[in-house]
């Protein structure tokens, strides 16, 4: 049933006003993407003013519907909608793209209502799927709306998310593809032909409608269907024109990311009529009052590890201790959610999955979605932990950095690090993860060496608010610490020391045990070295290490790690000892790893006890 002519005309005026605002913002800043805002202005005006339920006092209200501009370059459209809804003042619009402004080039968490930073394309649907999954599990009457561009449809991550959402039948998830047929460099079909778009989504388990995205009757009908839909995620493919409404922009190439001149702006305004009687307040149905909410309290997990939890005489893989901790600590807070990538029986996160299936989400072999969906789960107030082989997360480093940038309370736990995994070979070994993770601002990077440290660091990871990465090793190793040992972030543990230490050995993870063997052998030979377990790669106490080394008057620090020589423990030590004159001897993996037994590999690549022993002897003699 068509809309009343009067209502339809009011909506068309509103959309034109939003188009004018989008042009105004970008012209004033001299950069940005006006035409991609104009194609989506009709459908998003409907969403923001008629469809979505927003809290009129708090865009971040946990009970409100959620929206994600996955095509983050349409930021001016979002800001214009927020302005006309009364969430932004006219003055603030002037700060668009200026330093210090909440109105950044692409949406960020500085702005209320933004659940995840966008701008790196193809991630929004994953974030939305994570949120929708939580709402559906908890029986909450909340919908998640995602605006996507037709260019980002090229991104495989969109199809990872589409497959998961279809498989999970997330009927509270509503996607919109702004099918304006023009990308940055060319017409979509000249780049990669993505048609038939609606058939693709149907084959991925979605309900779909395809409409004229500039016809409010069709828009209203599409969302009515979306509301009525109860068993599948719902995708609206909206055929639109980039730069719609303005003759010299509509359907034109070379207008992506190009602001209009002042003169062009005037001409455009003339082609975007806004009725004098436009009554925005009367049009607005989306604002509700959800009432006050309690603030989330930090997660505190009171669990005192005891020797009953493990056998100090046995050997454990760090991943196994992690699995135990995840199960035991996971029972202490309903907020803890775990996501997997079809490796839960290797990472031992299956111990959590078995105990708390209602807080476990299996995402399959799709690491980009596994990370971004966790960002979405975290956006609902959960502590989201994603698990896979550390190496497989390497294909999601941008998603991880975007998640950390989004201030998401998510954790990445990567197992099977280094050459010590053995026979599976280089494609399964994480060799460069420490360097990348250490570079991320505010990241916490942990590397346990035994059962107790893995257990305690899992607790620290779950309690820490924000992004945290932990790398766990595959092989079994003996227990080094007593159950009551504590592992504060940023500190380290001294495992061997004497008055006469001639050098310091810094080690992390699995090879800490090799360092201890080497130290004992060196001691037998009359040479004492201090052995330090660096379980916290970031933060790290540079001053403490430097003072400790200088107080010993040593000339050499040896770093032993199952990682490439760049980016890891060796570089951390160089930073800490910068300018001290103490030389850092990196003992790390050089060159491409291969298949073989862990022992044979550690020996061949020179990171076992024998290699360290020989290196220390050679350097110190």
Smaller CB separation from its own copies, 114 or 218? 114
- The token duo for 449 is 């060496």
Establish whether 362 is a catalytic residue: no
- The span from the CA of 219 to the CA of 432, in Å, is 48
Give residues 247-266 in contact with its own copies (rule: CB under 8 A). none
Query: Dmax over Cα atoms in the chain, in whole Å?
Result: 94
Tell the smallest beta-carbon distance from residue 167 to its own copies (Å).
Answer: 4
CB 204 within 8 A of CB 162: yes
Based on the shown chain and the rule CB under 8 A, indicate whether residue 424 belongs to the binding site for its own copies.
yes
Based on the shown chain and the rule CB under 8 A, indicate whether residue 316 belongs to the binding site for its own copies.
no
Give residues 341-400 in contact with its own copies (rule: CB under 8 A). 342-346, 350, 362-366, 368-369, 391-392, 394-399
Site map (CB under 8 A) of its own copies, residues 472-491, x = contact = --------------------
Smaller CB separation from its own copies, 32 or 448? 32
Site map (CB under 8 A) of its own copies, residues 102-141, x = contact = --xxx-x--------xxxxxx-------------------
Tell the smallest beta-carbon distance from residue 214 to its own copies (Å).
Answer: 24
Stretch that binds its own copies, among 39-47, 92-100, 461-469, 506-514 (CB under 8 A): 92-100
Element spanning 609, H or E: helix 609-620
Q: Which of 12, 160, 241, 367 is catalytic?
A: 367
- The token duo for 96 is 């668009």
Smaller CB separation from its own copies, 97 or 359? 97
Smaller CB separation from its own copies, 106 or 496? 106
Give residues 231-250 in contact with its own copies (rule: CB under 8 A). none
- The span from the CA of 312 to the CA of 478, in Å, is 8
Paired with 556 in beta bridges are 583
Give residues 535-594 in contact with its own copies (rule: CB under 8 A). 555, 564, 566-567, 571, 574-575, 578-584, 590-592, 594
Paired with 533 in beta bridges are 493, 507
Based on the shown chain and the rule CB under 8 A, indicate whether residue 423 belongs to the binding site for its own copies.
yes
All residues at 6 or more sequence positions from 267 whose CB lies less than 8 Å from its CB, including other chains = 246, 248
Give residues 10-29 in contact with its own copies (rule: CB under 8 A). 29
All residues at 6 or more sequence positions from 258 whose CB lies less than 8 Å from its CB, including other chains = 34, 35
Based on the shown chain and the rule CB under 8 A, indicate whether residue 501 belongs to the binding site for its own copies.
no
Element spanning 159, H or E: helix 156-168
Stretch that binds its own copies, among 95-103, 209-217, 373-381, 516-524 (CB under 8 A): 95-103
N- to C-terminal Cα distance for the chain? 90
Based on the shown chain and the rule CB under 8 A, indicate whether residue 92 belongs to the binding site for its own copies.
no
**Residues that contact its own copies, how many (by CB under 8 A):** 113
Residue 547 phi/psi, 5-degree rounding, is -60, -40
For the chain, the helix, strand and coil percentages under 3-state DSSP, each to the nearest 5 = 40, 15, 40
Give residues 592-611 in contact with its own copies (rule: CB under 8 A). 592, 594-597, 600-601, 604
Q: Minimal CA–CA distance to 68: which of 161, 136, 164? A: 161
CB 144 within 8 A of CB 135: yes
> What positions carry a catalytic annotation?
367
């Amino acid at each position: 049933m068509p809309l009343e002519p009067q209502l339809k005309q009011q909506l068309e005026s509103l959309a034109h006003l939003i188009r004018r605002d989008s042009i105004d913002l970008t012209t004033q800043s001299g950069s940005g993407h006006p035409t991609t805002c104009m194609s989506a202005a009709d459908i998003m005006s409907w969403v923001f003013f008629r469809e979505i339920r927003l809290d009129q006092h708090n865009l971040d209200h946990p009970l409100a519907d959620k929206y994600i501009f996955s095509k983050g370059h349409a930021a001016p459209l979002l800001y214009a909608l927020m302005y006309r809804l009364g969430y932004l003042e006219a003055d603030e619009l002037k700060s668009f793209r200026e330093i210090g402004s909440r109105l950044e080039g692409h949406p960020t968490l500085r702005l209320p209502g933004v659940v995840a930073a966008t701008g790196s394309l193809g991630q929004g649907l994953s974030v939305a799927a994570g949120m929708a999954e939580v709402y559906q599990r908890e029986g909450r009457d909340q919908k998640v709306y995602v605006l996507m561009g037709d260019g980002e449809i090229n991104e495989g991550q969109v199809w990872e998310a589409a497959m998961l959402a279809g498989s999970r039948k997330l009927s509270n998830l509503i996607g919109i593809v702004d099918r304006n047929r023009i990308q940055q460099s060319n017409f979509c079909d000249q780049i990669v032909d993505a048609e038939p778009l609606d058939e693709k989504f149907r084959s991925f388990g979605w309900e779909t409608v395809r409409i004229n995205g500039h016809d409010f009757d069709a828009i209203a009908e599409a969302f009515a269907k979306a509301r009525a839909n109860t068993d599948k995620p719902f995708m609206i493919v909206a055929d639109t024109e980039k730069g719609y409404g303005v003759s010299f922009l509509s359907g034109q190439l070379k207008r992506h990311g190009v602001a209009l001149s002042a003169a062009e702006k005037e001409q455009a305004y003339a082609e975007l009529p806004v009725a004098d009687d436009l009554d925005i307040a009367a049009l607005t149905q989306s604002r509700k009052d959800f009432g006050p909410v309690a603030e989330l309290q930090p997660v505190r997990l009171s669990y005192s590890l005891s020797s009953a939890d493990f056998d100090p005489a046995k050997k454990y893989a760090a991943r196994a201790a992690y699995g135990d901790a995840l199960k035991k600590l996971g029972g202490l807070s309903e907020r803890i959610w775990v996501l997997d990538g079809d490796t839960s029986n290797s990472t031992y996160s299956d111990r959590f999955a078995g105990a708390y299936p209602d807080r476990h989400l299996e995402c399959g072999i799709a690491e980009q979605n596994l990370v971004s969906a966790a960002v979405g789960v975290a956006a609902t107030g959960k502590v989201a932990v994603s698990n896979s082989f550390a190496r497989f997360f390497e294909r999601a480093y941008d998603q991880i950095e975007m998640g950390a940038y989004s201030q998401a309370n998510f954790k990445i736990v990567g197992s099977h690090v280094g050459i010590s995994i053995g026979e599976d070979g280089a494609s399964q070994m994480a060799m460069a993860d420490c360097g990348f993770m250490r570079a991320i601002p505010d990241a916490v990077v942990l590397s346990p060496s035994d059962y107790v440290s893995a257990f305690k660091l899992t607790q620290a990871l779950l309690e820490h608010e924000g992004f945290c990465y932990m790398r766990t090793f595959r092989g079994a190793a003996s227990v080094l610490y007593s159950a009551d040992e504590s592992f504060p972030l940023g500190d380290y543990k001294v495992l061997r020391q004497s008055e006469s230490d001639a050098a310091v050995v810094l080690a992390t993870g699995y090879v800490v045990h090799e360092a201890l063997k080497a130290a004992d052998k060196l001691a037998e030979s009359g040479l004492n070295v201090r052995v330090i377990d660096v379980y916290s790669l970031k933060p790290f106490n540079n001053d403490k290490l430097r003072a400790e080394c200088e107080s010993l008057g040593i000339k050499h620090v040896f770093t032993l790690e199952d990682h490439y020589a760049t980016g890891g423990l060796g570089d951390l030590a160089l930073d800490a000892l910068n300018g001290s004159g103490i030389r850092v001897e990196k003992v790390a993996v050089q060159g491409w790893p291969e298949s073989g037994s862990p022992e044979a590999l550690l020996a061949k690549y020179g990171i076992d006890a024998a290699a360290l022993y020989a290196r220390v002897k050679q350097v110190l003699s």
